[in-house]
A and B are shown apart, each in its own frame.
Chain A
Amino acid sequence: MAYIFVYSIIITVIILIMLTFAAVIVRRFYMERRYRRLDEERERYSTLSIAIEKRKLIAYLGPYMHSPGSAAWVAVEENIVRAFDAAHCRLEAARLFDKLGYADYYMKTIKSGNRWEQALAAERLGHMRCARSLPLLVEALESRNTDLKLMAIHAVGLIGDGSALPSLIKMLKNAVLTGEEVSKKVLASSVISFGAAAARELASELTHPDWRVRAVCLNLLGEIGGANLAPLFMKMLSDPEQDVRAKAAKGLGRIRSIESVPSLESALADRHWVVRLHAARALGLMKEEQSVPALKGKLADRNWQVRRAAAEALGAIGGSAYLELLKVFIDSTDQYGREQALDELGRSNVAATLLSMLPKGEHNYLLLKEVPPTDDKGGIRMELLVDMLLFLSALDEESMAQALTALEGASGGSCAKSVKNAKNRIKEFGSRSGVPAE
């Protein structure tokens, strides 16, 4: 019995090995032949995409008509798809896609193919912006074939016909509220593709009782953008839900709405750090000097992400904002604020820039020029400190007072104190890094 068992396994395995060997070799030969044929056809039709690119009208279509699935069919399609990637070729590529029977073939396949063919058909129809396939694609949004649904979502967005928008937004709401299994990211991408047309539909959802819907719609509106949306975003800054307020702040930053600066500055005081974070980032995108004092205050925020966003925003504003960062570094008693200011000054390479701007003269003689180079491995931060000290120590008391006054952009009542603080800082860091203090 055991012998029969082992013999039968041996025979079965030998047959399987031989079949597998044969399958490998047959497939290799078959695929080589197929790819060789395809390469020949690609070569034969390679002029098609060039002709489309040169805006030549292909009047006689006979040579390009082939049976679906053949190597020539694939080669012609590849050329049309390639040509479609250039904006000026799209019209002619779409015409060829339609006239050569590809559109009809894929519209048939979307209904009757297997699940992969259906999804491929939807992808191709979308890629070719085939408007007459829209009803089929909208129907496919309800499909149980998840791949077909995904490709239909994407295709509908590419075609960009507003009549499909209500279906997409309904799907989006369902996905948010019921966790319907559909990629929210692909759905979002599709809705964004509609641009201003989607903005109207999304804006009407901002009164939805569920904050998740409001937040998602506001986020998409931010991606779509448009100056006319500013009042809407400013209104949403007072939404009771923190995520909605954060998305509103983010959106205002994206559309760079200057009139919203005061609202965003107020949002810097929001009790939720996410709102403060997005408000700081938005102000950084706007680069308005008037925001510098409000942002400077946030360098000492209790949340490090807000501190970083505020420092980055000041860095983005530049000019006097750098000087405010420098002052925070010199004057602030808040360790985190100083760290953050130093971090941003380092990133912006301000110290080197300021040094290069110093006028040459005896009174500006660099007291610290003999400082030995720091060991990078041991302290990049220390190197930056030395840079800052080089800058500060280059100034005598009077120059420093002038510089700090200039930094303040005002009469500088607190200048004397700042000079004193700066000197203390020089002494403190100088002794730490082996730098001779003044």
Chain B
Amino acid sequence: MLLSLILWFNYLVLAYYFAANGVYLVLLILAAGTIVNHLSRLEYGRYQKSIHQSVAPPVSVIVAAFNEEANIVDSVRSLLKLNYPDFEIIIVNDGSSDRTLASLIEGFRLKSSNVIYRQALRTAAVNGFYSSPAEPRLIVVDKAHAGKADSLNVGINVSDSPYFCSVDADSILEESALLRLMRPILEDPDLVQATGGIVRLVNGSSVSEGRLVNISLPRDSLSLLQVVEYIRSFLFGRAGLSVINSLLIISGTFSMFQKKTVLAAGGYKTSMVTEDMELVVRLHKHLRDKGQKYRINFVPDPICWTEAPKDLGMLKKQRRRWHLGLAESIFAYRSMLFNPRYGRIGLFALPYQLLVELLGPVIEVAGYFVVTASFILGIVDRQFFLLFLLMAVLINIFFSVAAVLLEEMSYRRYPKLRDTFTLLLYGVLENFGYRQMLSLWRTQAVLKFFLSRDRRWEVVKKKGFSKPMKEANQ
């Protein structure tokens, strides 16, 4: 009986393995097409600069900051340098216990100001507003701690613009970031409801006065592994899903939304571990329920840089949180799963997230145990077992290397030849230990989702951006 069960599980793992990799392959091909198209279109993207100012929709950039004293001033400086005709920056201090608010007040000479706070979305208490005569585009809101989603809702309430862009406090945006993220909206404002961009890791690069001054690969292996992982995830995962309008995650680190639609959908949900995916799935549901034609687009431009955890403990917390959030979002919208009413979202995007992204790591970890048991029990032939293992590793290496090729084809943000070889090397190395470790943490998150009621936000502490050598020595 047990042997038969193990045998069937092996078949299941095998079938699952080929199906999942088949989907990845399709996404890779779609992503390559999207990137070629996008790069060709960039050639004439300059036209946006000569668009009449009055037709560029105003944008509110909303930053939720909780204990971000390390990066917040640099981040705001980077935001103030954005090249866009009409934008305001709303920083929401989410009851930080460190010097986040004080750093902002000192850094930008803020003064308390009097603003009527209207709650289109219900939020925690707002303590006060700060503004700076020198920077009229900047407004800082101080509020009681209630999480990122609540802070973003406060930002939406304060926002004066028809579009808002959520940006993480530990991020650096390139000057043209808003222009590029707004391009799909400008070209089809009635259709495009939200856009998201590529997020890259700032580790190893230097930041000065809110500007990325030297792009370089990090030196530590953990950050390098994350760089390759981000390239793979963004360049072919999201770019591929975007082609078929099946994007369920646009990173909260940098995403643009039409405010009216988000308000109609009810804003960010404060009870979720990861608010970004939940909102996007809800937008899909809301718009499909209304029968509205829409698109949620991914812009494959590396325009936002963020800091990645530099130690295993923080990385573990981050990944477990992301996966728990994925589980929560899928569970919350389980009624859409395999529901033809929701078209490709119900029949492909959500099942893909459930079966490949959420349960994939669980099946992988279970597979390691069961296939090894099969091998020990003699159910699987030794040679076949080793060959299968080799095949699995090679396929993973192929996807990692293909992602590096997409990076090379497209943006080449890392200028040195040595960087390319390093990325290729880490594309191979990540399959020996790193991926398995991530799968284990993700499996823990899935188990936690089913077995535990405790879904508190696991805070990931950042160390701050690296300064250029000269500044650091001062």
Contact = CB atoms under 8 A, between A and B. Distances in A.
Contacts of A189: 51-52, 55
Contact of A339 (B116, B391, B394): B116
A20 B43 CA distance: 26
Nearest to B45: A123
A376 B128 contact: yes
Contacts of B391: 6, 9-10, 13
Nearest to A383: B112
Nearest to A153: B47
B408 interface: yes
B113 A24 contact: no
A21 B186 contact: no
Given A17-B401, A20-B405, A183 B186 contact: yes
Nearest to A26: B408
A69 interface: no
Interface in B399-413: 401-402, 404-405, 408-409, 412
A339 to B, nearest CB: 6
Contacts of A147: 41, 44
Nearest to B111: A349
B40 A186 contact: no
B118 to A, nearest CB: 6
Nearest to B142: A377
Contacts of B384: 2-3, 6
Contacts of A14: 394
Interface stretch (A97-105, A340-348, A403-411, A428-436): A340-348
Contacts of B190: 179, 184
A181 interface: yes
A28 interface: yes
Contact of A32 (B388, B409, B417): B417
B390 interface: yes
A10 B113 contact: no
B114 A346 contact: yes
Interface in A17-38: 17, 20-21, 23-25, 27-28, 31-32
Contact of B408 (A9, A24, A150, A185): A24
Contacts of B146: none
Given A192-B54, A223-B54, A377-B142, A308 B405 contact: no
B46 A347 contact: no
B398 A13 contact: yes
A278 interface: no
B46 A127 contact: yes
Taking residues whose C-beta sits less than 8 angstroms from the other chain, chain A's interface range is: 35 or more
Task: Classify the secondary structure of B's interface with A.
Answer: helix
B86 interface: no
B220 interface: no
B116 A186 contact: no
Contacts of B118: 304
B50 interface: yes
B40 A27 contact: no
Interface of B: 37, 40-41, 43-44, 46-47, 50-52, 54-57, 112-116, 118, 127-129, 142, 186-190, 383-384, 387-388, 390-391, 394-395, 397-398, 401-402, 404-405, 408-409, 412, 417, 420, 424
22 contacts: A2-B384, A3-B387, A6-B387, A6-B391, A9-B395, A10-B394, A13-B395, A16-B398, A17-B398, A20-B401, A20-B402, A21-B424, A24-B408, A27-B408, A120-B44, A183-B189, A185-B186, A188-B52, A189-B52, A193-B52, A381-B114, A383-B112
Interface of A: 2-3, 6-7, 9-10, 13-14, 16-17, 20-21, 23-25, 27-28, 31-32, 116, 119-120, 122-124, 126-127, 147, 150-151, 154, 158, 179, 181, 183-186, 188-189, 192-193, 223, 304, 308, 339-340, 342-343, 345-347, 376-381, 383-384
Would you list the 10 A-B pairs with minimal beta carbon distance, nearest first?
Answer: A346-B114, A116-B40, A123-B44, A189-B52, A380-B128, A13-B394, A380-B112, A185-B55, A183-B187, A189-B55
